[in-house]
Each structure stands twice: as C-alpha cells, then as structure tokens.
C-alpha cells in the first residue's frame, strides 16, 4: 500500500546523504580557514565601524530590504524527481502528507538562514536603536517567522498557476509589503502602520488562495522543473570543489570572447587542449563568472580594510582561492570519452591547463597590484607583484603534487 509519509522519509534521507557528501568536499580545510579568516576580519571591522556609524546612515531601510528579501524568498523543497511525473501521478490525491512534510522541512531549513541574517544585523540594530532593548529583537524574529510562514504558503499556492508573470507580480507585491512591515517595525509609534501592511498582506494571501483553489490538479512539470533547478544550482557550486557527475553544464555563446580566443590560440596539435580549456572557461557559466566575482571581492576587501598587511593577505588569499577553483577545469570533460582518443600525451593536457591558470593568475595579480598602487603607493605595487609571483609558484608546486598528481594516477 502506498505510504506518502514513508516516501518523504526516504527522499529526505537520500537528499541529506547526497548534499552532506558534497558539503564535506566544499567545506574543506582551505575554505574553512578562509571563511574563518573572513568572518574574524569582518567582525572586527564591523565592530569598529559601528562605533562611528554616521547619523544619517539608512540602517532601517537596509535591514528592512535585506530581511524582507530573505523572508519573502520561500521556495518549497519537494524533492520530486522526473520519474514522479509518471509513477506518482496516479496517487496525486494521496500526497497531501508528502507536500505538508516538504513545507515543514523547507520552513525549518530557511529559519536557519533567517536567524543568521538577523544575528548579523543585531549589532547594527542595537547600535542605531540604543533606546530599545535586545528583547525587541525577539519580537522582530517572531514577526519574521510569521511572515516567512505566510510567504511560504503563498509561494506554494502560486505554484498551482502556470502563468509566470502572475507569480512574479505576486512575489513582488509580497516583497514590498514584507519590507514595509519590517521598516515600520523599526519606527516609533508605528503599530497602526504595521497592522495596515499586515492586513494588506493577508488580503494577498486570500487572493492567492482563491486563484490556487481554482486549480485542482498539481503542475508536476513545474514542480519538478523548480526542484531540478535548485539541485543543479547546488551541483554547479559543488562542482567547483569536486567531481559532480550530476551537473548539467550550461553553455553561453559569448561570441566576442570566443572570436578573440580563436585568433589568439594557434591551430596546432599541441594547442588542442589550450583551445578546449579556453573555450570551456569562456562559454561555461561556472568559471569565468567565479573568476570575476573573486576578483571584485578581493578589490573590495583590499580597499575596505585599513591595515596594510591585511590588504596583502586578502589579495593573496583570493588569488589562491581563484586558482584552486580553476583547477576543476581538469575534470570538466571527464565524461567525454572521445578526448581519450586524441593522440596527445597526458602531460601536454596538464601543461595546457597550468599555462592558462598561470596567465589568469598573473593577470589577477597585476590588477590587484594596481589597486594597491592607488591605495598605498608605487612601492606596494612592486611588493605585491613579487609576493603574488611567489604565491603562484608555491601554489603550482603544491597543486601539481597533491591535486593534479592524484588526478593523473586515477585516470
């Protein structure tokens, strides 16, 4: 006999086992150290900044918008699979318990994110609203919990509508009302404004319930598409740290960059993998975007921190992380068996990848040196160039021994 509760337990256990396996690779020693370092430095400068916070700083709007975005974004993890479109369709009417459990699970998981963001804003809240006690944070948390639950219910009801524009408009209205409610909470004597936006939000809930109630069937294709999109996002992130066979690479045209690459790389046999890795870097959505984001983060932290040595540390640390992520290009085409037919030695493949990473790391080192030049002067540009060169040399020696060596032996 079909038991929807047991099916949910099996799906949840498999999901936790799958994600935890990749999370162990993602939060390895390198990333854990980097995250602890970033958190420690950020907490220190955050505390220093709070002591001299400008009087006209729009803390209420910033907290309201960020908390509103986190509260409004309330996807339901159904853990559905493609085969469910065939095998669960006949028992659709019996899946009420399954979807109820999926909403409870989604709500609990998203509470952790909400708590983390609220905890990050707590020092700012107490610094701006000195006349209020920490107990008001608890009331704010309760308000956010209620709105999170309402937003999740509304998101679930909206998944019964196929019109994407209606869903986007509904999400936008709920986001606006959530932000305004949180903003009014920060103001003095604004109880009636909070009550007004809450009543308006409840009206949106009734509207969603009415339109969802007119749709009696489950849009299986939409639910499966949403679930697969979320899992693919996780797999693409995990693929930057380890091998993920489930990932479905997304390819972009980027005609200008491709044409520039084809002119730059000679059409010779020993340049085959230089061309392949270069095209993969440009056309894949995973690598070039991450490279640019890490560069921008490095520039931000180097300009933000005041301590000179921390500027060096941030620059070198982001360079190492960027190079480490680019190493995963080696595994990008692992499932394409035709590459093994190429009459090209394994060492030439490895050399092609390291040459490309060397050029990208050198370019990043030069750009960060220029940033340091404008921030501190010409002497620090030269010092960072030397340090980045040493960092690249040491990193390449380590990567060849530990990562690329083991990869070659496993092929």
Walk along the chain (411 residues) in steps of 10 and give the mean pLDDT of each run. 88 92 73 77 84 86 96 94 88 90 95 94 89 85 96 94 91 96 89 92 92 84 92 80 66 71 74 80 76 88 83 86 80 72 77 85 89 82 85 76 52 45
Q: Verify that 216 and 341 share a domain, yes or no.
A: no
Q: Verify that 229 and 311 share a domain, yes or no.
A: no
Take residue 395 and report the two structure tokens written for it: 């990193």
Task: Report the distance separating Cα 287 and Cα 294, nearest Å.
Answer: 11
Beta strands in 195-305 (DSSP E): none
Task: Report the distance separating Cα 45 and Cα 186, nearest Å.
Answer: 25
In-domain check, residue 334? yes
pLDDT of residue 285: 65
Q: Verify that 212 and 284 share a domain, yes or no.
A: no
Q: Verify that 267 and 328 share a domain, yes or no.
A: yes
11 CB-near residues (< 8 Å, 6+ apart)? 79
pLDDT of residue 409: 45
Q: Verify that 230 and 342 share a domain, yes or no.
A: no
Is residue 147 within 8 Å of 184, Cβ to Cβ? no
Task: Report the distance separating Cα 193 and Cα 185, nearest Å.
Answer: 8
In-domain check, residue 332? yes
Number of H helices, E strands in the chain: 16, 0
In-domain check, residue 387? yes
Is residue 41 within 8 Å of 305, Cβ to Cβ? yes
Take residue 13 and report the two structure tokens written for it: 């256990």
pLDDT of residue 141: 94
> H or E segment at 87?
helix 84-87
Is residue 364 within 8 Å of 295, Cβ to Cβ? yes
In-domain check, residue 17? yes
In-domain check, residue 185? yes
Residue ending a domain, among 172, 205, 236, is: 236
Q: Verify that 30 and 139 share a domain, yes or no.
A: yes
Total number of domains constituting the chain: 2
pLDDT of residue 181: 96
Nearest Cα to 312, choosing from 363, 371, 357? 371
Q: Verify that 120 and 177 share a domain, yes or no.
A: yes
Tracing tokens 């992520």 back to the chain, one arrives at 325
Task: Report the distance separating Cα 320 and Cα 316, nearest Å.
Answer: 6
Is residue 84 within 8 Å of 225, Cβ to Cβ? no
Take residue 344 and report the two structure tokens written for it: 């090209």
Please tell me what DSSP assigns to residue 268.
Answer: -
Nearest Cα to 68, choosing from 202, 171, 170, 196? 171
Is residue 319 within 8 Å of 361, Cβ to Cβ? yes
Q: Verify that 303 and 178 share a domain, yes or no.
A: no
Q: Verify that 227 and 259 share a domain, yes or no.
A: no
Q: Verify that 215 and 362 share a domain, yes or no.
A: no
pLDDT of residue 310: 83
What are the helix (H) ranges across 284-377?
287-304, 308-326, 346-376
In-domain check, residue 244? no
Residue ending a domain, among 205, 236, 267, is: 236
Residue ending a domain, among 236, 271, 303, is: 236
Task: Report the distance separating Cα 277 and Cα 120, nearest Å.
Answer: 40
pLDDT of residue 408: 44
pLDDT of residue 6: 92
In-domain check, residue 241? no
Tracing tokens 């609203």 back to the chain, one arrives at 129
The domain in which residue 172 lies consists of: 4-236
Q: Verify that 158 and 277 share a domain, yes or no.
A: no
pLDDT of residue 70: 96
Angle at CA of residue 325, ends 334 and 287, nearest 5°: 75
Q: Verify that 310 and 397 share a domain, yes or no.
A: yes
Nearest Cα to 247, choosing from 288, 277, 287, 291? 287
pLDDT of residue 177: 96
In-domain check, residue 250? no
Take residue 331 and report the two structure tokens written for it: 């595994």
């Amino acid at each position: 006999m079909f038991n929807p509760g047991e099916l949910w337990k099996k799906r949840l256990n498999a999901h936790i086992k799958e994600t935890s396996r990749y999370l162990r690779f993602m939060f390895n020693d390198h990333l854990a150290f980097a995250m602890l370092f970033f958190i420690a430095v950020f907490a220190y400068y955050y505390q220093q900044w709070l002591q001299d916070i400008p009087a006209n700083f729009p803390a209420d709007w910033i907290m309201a918008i960020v908390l509103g975005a986190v509260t409004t974004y309330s996807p339901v993890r159904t853990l559905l699979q493609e085969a469910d479109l065939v095998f669960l369709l006949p028992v659709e009417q019996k899946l009420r318990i399954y979807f109820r459990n999926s909403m409870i699970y989604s709500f609990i998981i998203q509470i952790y994110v909400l708590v983390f963001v609220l905890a990050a804003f707590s020092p700012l809240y107490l610094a701006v609203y000195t006349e209020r006690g920490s107990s008001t944070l608890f009331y704010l948390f309760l308000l956010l919990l209620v709105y999170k639950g309402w937003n999740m219910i509304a998101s679930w009801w909206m998944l019964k509508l196929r019109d994407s524009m209606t869903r986007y408009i509904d999400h936008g209205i709920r986001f606006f009302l959530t932000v305004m409610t949180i903003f009014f909470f920060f103001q003095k004597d604004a109880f009636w404004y909070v009550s007004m936006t809450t009543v308006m939000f409840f009206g949106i809930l009734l509207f969603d319930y009415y339109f969802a109630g007119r749709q009696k069937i489950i849009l299986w294709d939409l639910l499966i598409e949403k679930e697969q999109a979320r899992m693919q996002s996780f797999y693409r992130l995990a693929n930057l740290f380890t091998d993920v066979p489930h990932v479905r690479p997304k390819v972009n045209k980027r005609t200008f960059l491709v044409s520039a690459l084809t002119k730059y790389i000679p059409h010779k046999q020993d340049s085959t993998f230089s061309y392949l890795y270069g095209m993969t870097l440009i056309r894949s959505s995973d690598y070039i975007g991450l490279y640019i984001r890490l560069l921008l983060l490095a520039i931000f932290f180097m300009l933000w921190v005041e301590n000179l040595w921390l500027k060096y540390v941030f620059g070198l640390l982001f360079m190492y992380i960027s190079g480490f992520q680019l190493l995963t290009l080696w595994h990008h085409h692992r499932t394409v068996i035709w590459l093994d037919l190429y009459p090209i030695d394994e060492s030439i493949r490895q050399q092609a990848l390291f040459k490309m990473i060397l050029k990208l790391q050198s370019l990043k080192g030069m750009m960060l040196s220029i940033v340091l030049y404008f921030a501190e002067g010409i002497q620090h540009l030269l010092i960072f160039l030397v340090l980045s060169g040493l960092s690249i040399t040491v990193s390449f020696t380590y990567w060849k021994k530990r990562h690329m060596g083991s990869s070659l032996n496993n092929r």
